[in-house]
Amino acid sequence: MKMFKKLVPGLLIIVGLVACHPRPTEELAIADVALKAAQKVKADSLAPDFFRKAENFYLRAKKDFTEGYYDSCKKFANQARMMAEKAEYRALQKQTQIKNRVVGDDDASGGSSDPFKPKGAEGLK
């Protein structure tokens, strides 16, 4: 009985400390959304290095979450979000460069600035 009385306060302190440590569910959710946004703009093919790093950080964050390493989980989730945002930005940059090259090629070859107007129909009304 004396041992039980000594154990109870110690267990309550441990339970209290564990309960005070918040789970980083919001950070994981934000990282997941950032990854999906990057994937939507084809960052997996246009910015593969950043995208793969983001995926790896996210997987590590999920693993740490399930194992109860919440500080580490939060750190990796934030890194995943940052890498996913970089991947998305880089993919959008590359899409813009490709689009500008295609438009520039049409203008240089004497093509119409209207993509829906057939070639050779410049003088027609």
Q: CA 95 to CA 101: how far, in whole Å?
A: 10
Number of separate domains in the chain: 1
Q: Determine the pLDDT at residue 70.
A: 96
Distances (CA, A) of 1 to 6, 7, 123: 9, 10, 102
Distance in angstroms (rounded) separating the CA atoms of residues 71 and 56: 17
CATH number at residue 45: 1.20.1270
Confidence of residue 64 (pLDDT cuts 50, 70, 90): very high
- Please check whether residue 12 lies inside any domain of the structure: no
Residue 36 lies in a domain: yes
% of the chain residues with pLDDT over 90: 62
Does 89 score more than 80 pLDDT? Answer: yes
- The predicted model gives 9-38 an average pLDDT of 81
pLDDT at position 4, please?
57
Q: Average pLDDT, stretch 67-87? A: 98
